[in-house]
Amino acid sequence: MSKLIKVFAAMAFILLAFATTSTTASAKRYYSTVPKALRGTWYEYNKDTYSYTKMVFSKQRFYYKLSSFKGISLYGNQFHHSNHSDLYVASKRTKRGYYKIGPRHSDDLYLKPVVIYDRGKRVHALKDMSPDMGFGTTYVYAYHYKHKA
């Protein structure tokens, strides 16, 4: 008789354990935040086309506009088809100190805040590192400034 009581007690304990265990759905969203060093409006002048490229960074928005085309906006707090936002910002800098930022699942920009000297004055700029297409591991560097030149 005591063996039967132990079996029922064990079954009751197992049922009670399963009844009190709750499972929650994990629907965590992953927001992208632009680093403070990149925030603001930045311009790059293209001498070949005599036009400006404009980049605007806010806390959770990246706006990129070529002078002749309509601009694109990516948001770090808007979600389509997944729990990740459309804007990708790498959690760590690269070994060379560049931030990796751009559209999710696409080509990224490599940007680094620097201080350079322009005509004898210290100027804050964003250094843009892009691979030189077709030439192996060489890079092309461009600078974006806070003001139009």
Q: What is the pLDDT of residue 81?
A: 62
Band of residue 79 on the pLDDT scale cut at 50, 70, 90: low
| 71 close to 61: Cβ distance less than 8 angstroms | no
Q: What is the pLDDT of residues 15-53, one digit of tens each?
A: 665 556 555 555 666 677 888 888 899 998 888 888 888
Q: Which residues are 44's β-sheet partners? A: 53
In this structure, of 42-51, 73-82, 103-112, the range with the lowest mean pLDDT score is 73-82
In this structure, of 33-42, 62-71, 82-91, 94-103, the range with the lowest mean pLDDT score is 82-91
H or E, element range at 149: none
Residue 98 pLDDT greater than 60, yes or no: yes
Q: Say how far apart CA 23 and CA 47 lie, in whole Å.
A: 60
In this structure, of 20-34, 35-49, 65-79, 84-98, the range with the lowest mean pLDDT score is 20-34
